[in-house]
């Protein structure tokens, strides 16, 4: 049985208190929400904070406000179950509820939060193993070692961004609010992710995710398709989020295709958007966009399934995601 290492646990009731505790403990501290990612990582000694600060009792992080007309704000500690069941999200942002429903299992969704999902650690077959297993291969660059077993010549870690809501939030243009003792800042979801499996977030460790803002629904539509081995539950080894806005004439005015699960950060396929913009959302242009996504996708051999097959599936899953929007 894997045991948690010893750590101090703190449960602040106010945002100001939470960021103050984090500032006082420095790099030894880490926030936790549902703990469905952090605690397994601690058991495997991938992350070893000395102080764990819960964000589950902070009122600002536990509410959903607004509507599709004005935009919706979702607190970072709202659970995935609450996202799946919320009538407003299901009515105005069905793509968000759909992606949340595809995450892990009902029990894990009762604990796991939307904030924890957006800040999920990157994943790799050589990393998501217990301590002894990792010791057996002399560890790797991401934790305790000095070589990347996926690309031994590389000085970079290629662990994969594997959270289902990440490509969706990037595609729909969500914004994220962070707080620290230095003040608040708001950034676009698209600007949060860094293409490096170790340093995968443009965020300081002391910054607390407060909430996310979904943009108003003004004619856009979005969809999400997920490739995984088991339909019941599994991390995505490819996720395709598609977003389009049509003009009065029914032509595509704006489009985004974002790939998750194939690189350390979500991949924006500009060529797919170019294939769609100014065109009807028909079979010919959808196929051109899917081809562009296939060309751009470069999965590596560090998750489930053979990488070439995952690349081929990018075409199919992009086709499916865009067809859903017709």
Ligand X SMILES: Cc1cc2nc3c(=O)[nH]c(=O)nc-3n(C[C@H](O)[C@H](O)[C@H](O)COP(=O)(O)OP(=O)(O)OC[C@H]3O[C@@H](n4cnc5c(N)ncnc54)[C@H](O)[C@@H]3O)c2cc1C
Residues at the contact surface with ligand X, assessed by CB under 6 A = 30-38, 40, 55, 76, 80, 103-104, 108, 111-113, 115-117, 119-120, 163-164, 208-209, 233-235
The torsion of the CA quartet 310, 144, 104, 12, rounded to 10 degrees, works out to -140
State in angstroms the smallest separation of the CB of 141 from ligand SF4.
4
**56 vs 307 by CB, closer to ligand SF4:** 307
Q: Does 149 bind ligand SF4 (CB under 6 A)?
A: yes
299 binds ligand SF4 (CB under 6 A): no
List the one residue out of 190, 188, 182, 189 whose CA is nearest residue 208: 182
CA distances from 174 to 83, 105, 165, 213, 248 (A): 15, 25, 11, 5, 24
CB of 197 to ligand SF4, least distance (A): 4
Phi, psi of 151 (to 5 degrees): -135, 80
- Which listed option, ligand SF4, ligand X, none, makes contact with residue 76 (CB within 5 to 8 Å by class)? ligand X
Cα 295 to Cα 134, 214, 303, 308, 325: the distances in Å are: 33, 30, 20, 12, 22
Please tell me whether residue 30 binds ligand SF4 under the rule CB under 6 A: no
Q: Residues touching ligand SF4: how many (CB under 6 A)? A: 14
Nearest to 279 by CA among 321, 322, 223: 322
Least CB distance from residue 88 to ligand X, whole Å? 20
141 binds, among ligand SF4, ligand X, none (CB under 5 to 8 A by kind): ligand SF4
Strand, helix or coil for residue 264: coil
Count CB atoms within 10 A of the CB of residue 231.
8
Whether the CB-CB separation of 78 and 117 falls below 8 Å is answered with no
Closer CB to ligand SF4, residue 222 or residue 263? 263
The answer to the question of residue 235 lying near ligand SF4 (CB under 6 A) is no
Question: Which chain residues interact with ligand SF4 by CB under 6 A?
Answer: 124, 126-127, 140-142, 148-150, 157-159, 197, 302
């Amino acid at each position: 049985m894997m045991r948690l290492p010893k750590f101090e646990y703190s449960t602040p009731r106010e945002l100001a208190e939470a960021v103050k505790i984090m500032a006082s403990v420095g790099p030894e501290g880490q926030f936790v929400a549902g703990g469905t990612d952090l605690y397994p990582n601690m058991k495997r000694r991938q992350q070893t904070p000395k102080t764990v600060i819960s964000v589950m009792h902070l009122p600002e992080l536990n509410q959903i406000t607004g509507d599709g007309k004005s935009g919706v704000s979702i607190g970072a500690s709202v659970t995935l179950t609450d996202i799946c069941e919320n009538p407003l999200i299901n009515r105005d942002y069905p793509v968000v509820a759909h992606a949340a429903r595809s995450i892990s299992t009902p029990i894990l969704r009762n604990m796991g939060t939307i904030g924890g999902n957006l800040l999920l650690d990157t994943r790799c077959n050589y990393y998501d193993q217990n301590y002894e297993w990792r010791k057996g291969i002399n560890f790797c660059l991401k934790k305790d070692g000095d070589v990347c077993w996926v690309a031994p010549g590389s000085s970079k870690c290629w662990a994969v961004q594997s959270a289902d809501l990440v490509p969706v939030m990037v595609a729909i243009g969500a914004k994220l609010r962070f707080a620290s003792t230095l003040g608040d800042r708001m950034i676009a979801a698209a600007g949060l992710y860094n293409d490096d499996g170790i340093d995968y977030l443009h965020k300081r460790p002391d910054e607390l995710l407060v909430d996310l803002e979904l943009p108003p629904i003004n004619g856009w539509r979005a969809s999400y398709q997920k490739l995984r081995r088991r339909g019941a539950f599994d991390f995505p080894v490819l996720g395709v989020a598609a977003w389009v806005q049509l003009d009065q004439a029914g032509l595509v005015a704006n489009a985004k295709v974002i790939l998750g699960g194939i690189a350390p950060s979500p991949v924006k396929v500009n060529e797919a958007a170019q294939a769609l913009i100014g065109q009807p959302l028909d079979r010919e242009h959808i196929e051109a966009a899917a081809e562009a996504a296939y060309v751009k996708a470069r999965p590596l051999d560090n998750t489930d399934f053979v990488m070439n097959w995952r690349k081929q599936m990018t075409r199919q899953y992009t086709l499916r995601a865009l067809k859903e929007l017709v």
